[in-house]
């Protein structure tokens, strides 16, 4: 059995050519490259189209006193391809602007998308959304909120956002996840992390009350 972790780095990739295919809010580029193979040799020239998307931060707002989550419901056109109902149940999330830290995005987006204040943050994960095609990395957090303040419809008109705020008991959110009603990766990762760590989180946060 081979268990050694390959010691490859960016230095083992040779970029030969980059072509711009589209440049707007997002970018699409074609790359020609070579990289080191596991047997020590070099690959042939590999051609890959890459969707260049800025990185994002997401926060699952959680009220440890009420044991409730604040989730969002909004229309996502790309979900039309595989979903009968393309209004998805999600967590708060936004693009990391130049010079911003992920934690700052969580606080800003919680206010913009749900009208709530995040008072504490715990890092959950940092993951690549779709590394076979896209550059985006998502930083996921759990945020301490007062769920009783979450209500209404939010979002920026300039971004055509129409976001409904949902205040959901933790067990209801878990049931939705298990039933497949929550089916986007960031929400799944955040809720499953809380399923594993809720007792520890509540002990930590409630001890400060």
Q: How far is CA 67 from CA 14, 25, 173, 189, in A?
A: 50, 38, 11, 18
Q: What tokens were used for 133?
A: 């095609």
- Per the annotation, the verdict on 109 as an active-site residue is no
Pick the catalytic residue: 81, 159, 179, 209? 159
**CB atoms closer than 10 angstroms to residue 171:** 10
Of 127, 57, 125, 68, which Cα lies nearest the Cα of 92? 57
Place of tokens 């890092």: 123
Q: What tokens were used for 83?
A: 């979903």
Q: Just list the catalytic residues.
A: 159
């Amino acid at each position: 059995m081979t268990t050694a972790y390959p010691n490859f780095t960016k230095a083992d990739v040779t970029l030969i050519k980059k072509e711009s295919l589209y440049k707007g809010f997002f970018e699409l580029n074609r790359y020609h490259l070579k990289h080191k193979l596991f047997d020590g040799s070099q690959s042939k020239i590999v051609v890959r189209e890459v969707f260049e998307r800025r990185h994002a931060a997401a926060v699952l707002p959680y009220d440890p006193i009420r044991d409730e989550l604040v989730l969002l419901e909004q229309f996502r056109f790309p979900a039309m391809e595989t979903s009968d109902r393309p209004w998805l149940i999600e967590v708060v999330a936004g693009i990391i602007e130049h010079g911003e830290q992920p934690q700052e995005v969580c606080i800003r987006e919680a206010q913009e998308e749900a009208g709530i204040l995040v008072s504490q943050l715990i890092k959950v994960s940092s993951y690549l959304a779709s590394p076979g095609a896209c550059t985006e990395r998502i930083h996921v957090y759990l945020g301490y909120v007062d769920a009783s303040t979450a209500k209404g419809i939010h979002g920026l008109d300039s971004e055509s956002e129409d976001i409904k705020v949902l205040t959901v008991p933790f067990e209801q959110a878990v049931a939705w996840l298990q039933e497949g009603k929550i089916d986007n990766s960031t929400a799944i990762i955040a809720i499953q992390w809380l399923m594993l760590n809720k007792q520890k989180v509540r002990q930590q946060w409630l001890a400060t009350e």
